[in-house]
Amino acid sequence: MAKRSSALAVRTVRAPAPVIRIAAPRAANVVKAARRTGRMSRRAAVGSHGLTPIAAATTAAVVGYAESSGLLDRLPEIPVIGRKGTLAIAAWYFSKHGGGKIARDVALIAAVLAGHELGAKGSISGDYEG
């Protein structure tokens, strides 16, 4: 017969393994993704991307100086939009093709000044009045 041992056998108990669930991939919600791309925070709209009041005032002063010194007279006269409107279109085109933020500011302010003059006087300086 086999000999019995008097020592108690110690059994080790392992902790249960964690349950790992694998979920099937879901289709992306296209509507929410499209909406999310169009949002811009208020801080970004006012500070780094928007036209600040100092930039607007400086640009308006430069456009006024160009008009009083005769630089604006060198632009062609386009009916209805005048010379300031021509400046706005040219600056906008230049801003989209490498002109940067300054050209965009000039385009916006020139368009605002042209609209103001159209509303106040009924015509824009350089507009064909025939």
pLDDT tens digit string along 1-17? 566 666 666 778 888 88
Q: Is residue 103 part of a domain?
A: yes
Q: Is residue 106 part of a domain?
A: yes
Q: Give the per-residue pLDDT at 94.
A: 92
Tokens encoding 115: 């609209």
Q: Is residue 115 part of a domain?
A: yes
Range with the lowest mean pLDDT among 45-49, 114-118, 119-123? 45-49
Q: Is residue 5 part of a domain?
A: no
The answer to whether the beta carbons of residues 56 and 64 sit under 8 Å apart is: no
Say which residues have a Cβ less than 8 Å from residue 88's Cβ, sequence separation at least 6: 81, 106, 107, 108, 110, 111, 114
Positions of E strands within 1-130:
none
Q: Flag whether the pTM goes above 0.85.
A: no
Helix (H) or strand (E) run with residue 104 in it: helix 100-121
Q: What is the mean pLDDT of residues 102-112?
A: 87
Q: Is residue 70 part of a domain?
A: yes
Q: Which residues of 94-111 are buried (b: 16+ CB within 10 A; e: fewer)?
A: bbeeebeeebbbbbbbbb
pLDDT tens digit string along 28-78? 666 655 555 555 555 544 445 577 788 888 888 888 888 888 888 888 878
Q: Give the per-residue pLDDT at 96.
A: 92
Q: Measure the CA–CA gap between 46 and 52, rounded to whole angstroms.
A: 7
Domain span at 97: 51-121
**34, 45, 63 from 89: Cα distances, Å:** 30, 23, 14
Q: Give the per-residue pLDDT at 46.
A: 44
Q: Is residue 1 part of a domain?
A: no
Q: Is residue 19 part of a domain?
A: no
Tokens encoding 19: 């349950």
Q: Give the per-residue pLDDT at 93.
A: 93
Question: Which amino acid would we find at residue 77?
Answer: E
pLDDT tens digit string along 87-101? 889 889 999 998 888
Domains: count for the chain: 1
Q: Is residue 57 part of a domain?
A: yes
